[in-house]
Structure 1
Amino acid sequence: MKIEHWQTSEGSDVYFVENHDLPILDMSVGFPAGAARNTKATAGLAGVTRHMMSLGAAGMNEEDITNAFADIGAEFGGSLDADQAAFTLRTLTSEKEKAITVFNKVLHKPDFPIAVLAREKTRIIAGLQEAATQPESIANKAFMQALYGAHPYGLPEEGEEETINAITQQAMRDFYQQYYSAKSATIVLIGDITKSEAQTIANKVASGLPQTPAVKALPAVNLPVAANEQKIPHPASQAHILLGYPGVKRGDLDYFPLYVGNYILGGGGFVSRLTEEVREKRGLVYSVYSYFIPMSELGPFQIGLQTKKEQASEALKVVNDTLKDFVKNGITDEELKAAKSNITGGFPMRLDSNKEIMGYVAMIGFYKLPLTYLDDFNQEVNKVTAAQIKDAFNRRLNLSHFTAVIVGASD
């Protein structure tokens, strides 16, 4: 796949894939304005800022913005994770000028209307109160806090009641100016336009963004120095268990050995070791999984499962024993062959629409991965050896310093 890359005069990175199969343009604009840019006192600000940008801009209210896109059949969206805030647009090429005009108003001239902020605070706080009763939400929040401590990855993405209440219009304006800088923007354009059209569109996007300094990198993650187990009471009949360790960054040299190895350990669904040991042999769970989430800094390696309260300690022991055996003794040639076949066979399916391709190209752009990442993916998977997997898991996971959170453990 040919991905073209250049920078605008403002310093925005542009990634372009020309494809005239359908008369459609997909675009996304991403910023290092994710939840890890919050502080303890401002938890939730990144998400509220991104969401509020689409609820009033350049004098248009929320309904005006929604209708302007709907009238021309355009789809507008947004997302936020710890690293990144992003906006997306899908439009017929024939309507692209109108669609991009509205899209740029949202990016360039957010109004952050005070009345809408008050309404959104009420909605978000109701959601936080509901989440505080749900074992899965409790487990996720406690796990990230326990794993990352004072690092911003440990902050609750949605915020806390008191930090949401404290958000002001000025705080959102300041956050926007600092983190939505043209110098740090990643613009992705895919579809039915020429390169010169892509350059014109990208220049319009970049020129209207805050011309503030490039956003600094996040602090490095400190590795845990001891094991940490938290048991949180909950009336649910099932115990929710999460355990893990800081894993990998995007672009990490160990990524492919860890990715393929984890497919065998717990990423491959019913063909994984964890499923075999915890579900098939012992019937302790319906599902158990493991994954690495690569991020700007070390994202989590996480194992998750649910089981009956009275079986929680047994299930956790089986998981730990399976993990220890995997790290100590490695994998078989048969397991490696099957994993490679499943991963490489399924990879083209992930690239069967422009929207999916856009997601991958946006990832390549934001994390500064090689432009050949998608073309090289299967080749990199096939190069992985059993020895590399064993070596990577041994170096990267200190099993004696794992974090475990059990919500609803039996007394």
Structure 2
Amino acid sequence: MRAFVLFLFSLAIAAPATAEVDITEFTTSSGIEAWLVEEHSIPFVALELRFRGGAALDEPEKRGAVTLMTATLEEGAGDMNAREFAKRTEELAASFEYDVYDDVLTVSAKFLSENRDEAIAHLRKSLINPRFDQDAIDRVRAQILSIIRSDKKEPRSIASNALDTLIYDDHPYATSRNGTVSSVSSLTREDVVAAHRTTMARDRLYVSAAGDITKEELGTLLDDLLDGLPKTGAPLPPRAEVTLTGETKVIPFETPQSVAVFAQPGIDRDHPDFFAVYLLNHILGGGGFESRLMQEVREKRGLTYGVYTYLVNKDSADLWAGSVSSANDRVAEAIKVIRDQWAKIRNDGVTEEELEDAKTYLTGAYPLRFDGNGPIANIAVGMQMEGLPVDYIATRNDRVNAVTLKDVNRAAREYLKPDQLTFVVVGQPEGLMNAEN
């Protein structure tokens, strides 16, 4: 059976890539809004559940509670302990994944059509009746504490956490969702139960599915699966007030290579200029070896193996961020080149050739994302959370192609902020110690 399931999963992954995805939007009898992509060629279903809020719902003094709770959901449920729950999941040839991020708690389920009812009943136990046995909590807590201690010795984690603290001040984003050694060590079972109750609620739920199931079948499945969830959860956090001063902060750390992370203000996903900035980011640092930063920092000067930028769209803040690593005696030059290119593109813009190359890549790569039921369900639920229409998949490339060179270069002037580009460097960088700009 397990070999057969792996074979079916491989078929689902290897399905022909296409951006022609027909989404049905509907509401179940109990009021759950869901999106469905029917695909009956393989007897397999992928289901995605999202709960908005995620780790940002932690109480300040209980940081890490949502992470600990999420990681313990499958460590025993109903009348089954952790071992029994895992064994039954395997017997059903099902796959359940539970994850938490700054703004969302995710539950991903994959199961065969023939085991659908049993798999959903089993999944329901972990969502509605998790045991949260003390021995399971302590076991998972030890794993999280190990990660926290390890992150304190890893330059990239140190840099990222320090940048978050610098940017977000007292917002939940300012600290790691894993919590601290102190906060996680002091969490009680009651804290875990409270995190479950306030995080996994109907008022912040998003659902999508793809595969061998009809709208009517999915509606019944969801009503049965989610009956018993709290109607409302904890209030969502407020908008973050970001602080980006343009400084370069150095954190001394014994390593032959420094790690630098950087950020400036970003742009909201709903903004009319989003696609112009999206293309601009690809040209600046998001386009791999063809990006301006990769050409200037790596290819022309050999200062790094890689430098990249990306847009960060969180529920409570938007950033334009990036990262670079370089030898201690060369990282100062790498940072200078990044700052210079940031200003150069803002002032001089990009070329028509760069824009057309970016459009060709981004529109050509887009259909490759739809390579199976799992990715399709995941993309669909993400669209829901971002407030995108059901026809977005069909129109997305048109929106990219509609951006003109004038649009991109105007966006460069308006949204690139060299004076707010803030760096955190971890290592022993020469020429940067105590630097302010």
Band the TM-score falls in, shorter-chain normalisation: over 0.9
Matched letter for residue 272 of structure 2: L
1:4-403 mapped onto 2 (5 Å cutoff)? 4-8=24-28, 10-211=30-231, 213=232, 216-224=235-243, 226-403=245-422
- The whole-number CA distance in structure 2 between the counterparts of 1:168 and 1:10 is 34
Instruction: Report how many residues are paired.
Output: 410
Aligned to 1:341, what secondary structure does the other structure show?
A: helix
Aligned to 1:226, what secondary structure does the other structure show?
A: coil
What is the CA distance between 1:101 and its match in structure 2?
0.6
Contact 1:139 1:405 in 2 (8 A): yes
Aligned to 1:130, what secondary structure does the other structure show?
A: helix
What is the CA distance between 1:225 and its match in structure 2?
6.0
Matched letter for residue 251 of structure 1: D
Aligned to 1:156, what secondary structure does the other structure show?
A: coil
- The whole-number CA distance in structure 2 between the counterparts of 1:394 and 1:39 is 40
Give the percent of matched residue pairs that are identical in Structure 1 and Structure 2.
28
Contact 2:128 2:226 in 1 (8 A): no
- The whole-number CA distance in structure 1 between the counterparts of 2:234 and 2:141 is 27
Of residues 362-371 and 1-10 in structure 1, the stretch that sits farther from structure 2 once superposed is: 1-10
Q: TM-score, normalised by structure 1?
A: 0.95
Contact 1:248 1:295 in 2 (8 A): no
What is the CA distance between 1:9 and its match in structure 2?
5.2
Task: Specify every segment of 5 or more residues in structure 1 that has no aligned partner in the other structure, as ranges.
Answer: none
Aligned to 2:210, what secondary structure does the other structure show?
A: strand
Contact 1:278 1:288 in 2 (8 A): yes
Contact 1:35 1:47 in 2 (8 A): yes
CA displacement, residues 130-181 of structure 1 (integer Å, 9 cap, x when unaligned): 1101111111111111122222222212111011012111112112111211
- The whole-number CA distance in structure 2 between the counterparts of 1:288 and 1:74 is 39
Aligned to 1:240, what secondary structure does the other structure show?
A: strand
Cα pair distance change 1:272/1:88, threshold 3 Å? same
Q: TM-score, normalised by structure 2?
A: 0.90
- The whole-number CA distance in structure 1 between the counterparts of 2:297 and 2:387 is 38
- The whole-number CA distance in structure 2 between the counterparts of 1:231 and 1:244 is 15
What is the CA distance between 1:91 and its match in structure 2?
0.7
Aligned to 1:293, what secondary structure does the other structure show?
A: strand
Contact 1:12 1:184 in 2 (8 A): no
- The whole-number CA distance in structure 2 between the counterparts of 1:228 and 1:156 is 22
Structure-1 residue corresponding to 2:5: none
Of residues 392-401 and 292-301 in structure 1, the stretch that sits farther from structure 2 once superposed is: 392-401
Matched letter for residue 326 of structure 1: I
What is the CA distance between 1:299 and its match in structure 2?
3.2
Contact 2:244 2:265 in 1 (8 A): no
CA displacement, residues 220-252 of structure 1 (integer Å, 9 cap, x when unaligned): 122436333210011111000111123233433
